[in-house]
Amino acid sequence: MPIKVQDNLPAKNVLENENIFVMTESRATGQNIRPLEILILNLMPKKEETEVQLLRLLSNTPLQLNIKFLQMKSHISKNTEATHLKTFYNVFDDIKDLRFDGMIITGAPVELMDFEEVNYWEELTKVMEWSKHNVTSTFHICWGAQAGLYYHYGIKKHMLKEKLFGIYRHTKIYKHENLLRGFDDHFYAPHSRYTEVSRYDIEKVPDLNILSMSDKAGVYIVSGQGGKQFFVMGHSEYETDTLKNEYLRDIEKGIKIKIPENYFKNNNPKGEITAQWKAHSSLLYSNWLNYYVYQITPYDLYTGRAKTKK
C-alpha cells in the first residue's frame, strides 16, 4: 500500500524518483473506499487447482476483493465436477451487464490449435471485447495472453522447436514501471508452453510495451493501453510442485518431455524442488491490484465517478 505524506514534504520527490509510490495528503483525504470487484475467467481444465493458486496470490493484499468466477458456456469441462461449476461459476450472460475493477483470463491447454479452432473462441472474443469497456484492467495469463494479443492487436503465436518447460531468469526492462515496483533487476518465473509471441511483432504496435524479457523464455510481460491490459506469458501463479505434476503426467501419457529446467535440485526428478519465483509472483499480483486496479478504478463503476471526497 502507498505511504501518505504531506503534499510539500521534500522527501516525496526523492522517494518518487526511486519509484516508491507516495500518496499526498490531499489525495488520500479525497478517497472513498469500497471492495474491488474482480472477475476470473478460468479456462484451465482443473479449475479448483487454479482457483486456489490465484486466490492465494490475490489475498496477499490488505484490499478487500469480491471475486466472481466465469466459465465458457460453449465448452463442457471434463476435469471439473458439474456441481462445482453450477455452484460457483457464472456464464457470460450472467455478468455482461456488470462492470468490474479487474479481470483475470487464465491460460488453457489448447495452444497447439489455431485460435479459431478452439470451440469457445467466439464466446471468448465476446468477453475480451466486453472487457475493453467494462473492466478497468485485465490480466491475461499464458495462452490467455497470446489469445488477448491476437484478438486485440492481431499478433500471431509461433510454434517453438520444443516445449519451454521450467523456471527461467527474467530481466526488468522498465526501471520505473509500477507493475514491477520492488522487483529485483533479475527474477525468476515458471513457463510451460509450446508457443511464443515475437518481440518484433509486439514492438511494431505503439500501444504495447514489453516490460520484461528472458534470454531463454523470450517475452514475459507486456502492457497495453497504459495498464488497461497486461499479458503475462508465464505461470507466475504456479505452486511449488505444479511443474513436477505436469512432468509426471506427460511421462505417464508417454509424451517425450525434458526435465523442467532450473527446477529440481541437481536436475534429479526425485530430488527437492527449489522455488525461486514465489516472492516476485506475489508482488506481481499485489502491484497489479494496487496500481492498476485500486488506484485507477472509479469509485462508482457504473457512472465512472472518480474517487473523490463525499
| Tens of pLDDT, residues 165-190 | 999 999 999 888 999 999 999 999 99
122 is catalytic: no
Span 235-282, pLDDT tens digits: 999 999 999 999 999 999 998 899 999 999 999 999 899 899 999 999
Span 130-152, pLDDT tens digits: 999 999 999 999 999 999 999 99
pLDDT score recorded for residue 30? 61
**Residue tagged active-site, from 177, 235, 246, 280:** 235
pTM metric for this prediction: 0.89
Alpha helices in the chain (DSSP H): 11-17, 25-29, 47-58, 82-88, 92-95, 121-134, 143-153, 199-203, 242-252, 278-287
Give the residue-averaged pLDDT of 222-228. 95
**Residue tagged active-site, from 170, 237, 246, 280:** 237
Could you tell me the three cell numbers for 284? 506481481
**Which residues fall within 8 angstroms of residue 183, CB to CB, at 6 or more apart?**
172, 280, 283
Q: Locate cell 485460435: which residue?
A: 115
For 4, 45, 98, 194, the CA distances from 22, given in Å and listed in that order, are 6, 41, 32, 41
Closest C-alpha to 167, from 196, 189, 197: 189
CB atoms within 10 A of CB 46: 12
235 is catalytic: yes
**Which residues fall within 8 angstroms of residue 203, CB to CB, at 6 or more apart?**
210
Cβ 231 vs Cβ 224: under 8 Å: yes
**Residue tagged active-site, from 142, 170, 177, 246:** 142
Q: What number of helices (H) and strands (E) belong to the chain? A: 10, 12
CB atoms within 10 A of CB 58: 22
142 is catalytic: yes
Which amino acid type is present at position 303? T
Alpha carbons 247 and 269: distance in angstroms, whole number: 9
Alpha carbons 202 and 200: distance in angstroms, whole number: 5
Alpha carbons 23 and 187: distance in angstroms, whole number: 27
pLDDT score recorded for residue 28? 62
Q: At 218, which helix (H) or strand (E)?
A: strand 218-224
